[in-house]
């Protein structure tokens, strides 16, 4: 059980790094208020939790059709997401991350944009993880994303420059580790 919780927390931490980066950029804006920061954090946390649920539902449906290769697909998805995070870290430019956060539609759009990876992660969950792992991970994603979005907004309001690339590199490393773990378990321990 402790292994499930540790893995859930690591997935949640990796999953919320782009939310942290965007929240930090939003917090740098003068129009950010405490109320708007809380709204932003809640919307990001809800979206980051709902997108894996959609992925889980589709992954559970596909599981029966791809029995025997699901672990290879999950491995590939986690490696792709890890590579995407590394590319984002390499090409990160804070000046491109300033948004009009006074509009709810912009906040929702940002939440959806940062949650696309979460959908793919959910596919991996649906293919490989038990219901217990999925539920614990979804709870961790919600709580940790909410916390990191609030922290990002606060940091953004206090600092002009933060090195968000490190958060994205951390996310990539976690996704690589999970992908490798899935393939090793399927190859050597099944």
Domain ranges of the chain: 2-188
Whether the pLDDT of residue 179 is over 90: the answer is no
Query: What is the Cα–Cα distance from 34 to 161, expressed in whole angstroms?
Result: 20
Whether the pLDDT of residue 162 is over 50: the answer is no
Distance of CA 175 to the CA centre of its chain: 10
pLDDT tens readout for residues 39-93: 999 999 999 999 999 988 887 777 777 667 767 877 887 788 778 878 877 876 6
* pLDDT given at position 181: 77
Query: What is the Cα–Cα distance from 106 to 100, expressed in whole angstroms?
Result: 7
Higher pLDDT, 54 or 128: 54
* pLDDT given at position 141: 94
Copy the structure tokens of residue 70.
Answer: 């699901």
pTM higher than 0.85: no
Share of the chain above pLDDT 70, in %: 85
* pLDDT given at position 97: 52
């Amino acid at each position: 059980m402790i292994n499930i919780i540790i893995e859930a927390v690591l997935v949640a931490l990796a999953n919320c790094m782009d939310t942290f980066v965007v929240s930090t950029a939003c917090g740098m804006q003068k129009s950010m208020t405490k109320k708007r920061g809380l709204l932003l954090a809640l919307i990001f946390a809800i979206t980051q939790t709902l997108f894996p649920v959609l992925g889980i539902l589709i992954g559970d449906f596909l599981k029966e059709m791809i029995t025997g290769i699901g672990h290879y697909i999950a491995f590939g998805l986690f490696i792709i997401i890890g590579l995407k995070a590394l590319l984002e870290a390499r090409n990160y430019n804070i000046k491109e991350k300033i948004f009009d956060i006074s509009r709810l539609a912009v906040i929702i759009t940002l939440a959806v944009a940062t949650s696309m990876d979460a959908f793919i992660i959910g596919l991996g969950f649906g293919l490989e993880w038990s219901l217990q792992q999925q539920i614990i991970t979804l709870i961790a994603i919600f709580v940790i994303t909410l916390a990191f979005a609030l922290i990002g907004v606060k940091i953004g309001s206090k600092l002009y420059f933060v090195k968000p690339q490190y958060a994205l590199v951390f996310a990539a490393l976690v996704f690589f580790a999970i992908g490798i773990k899935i393939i090793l378990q399927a190859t050597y321990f099944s």
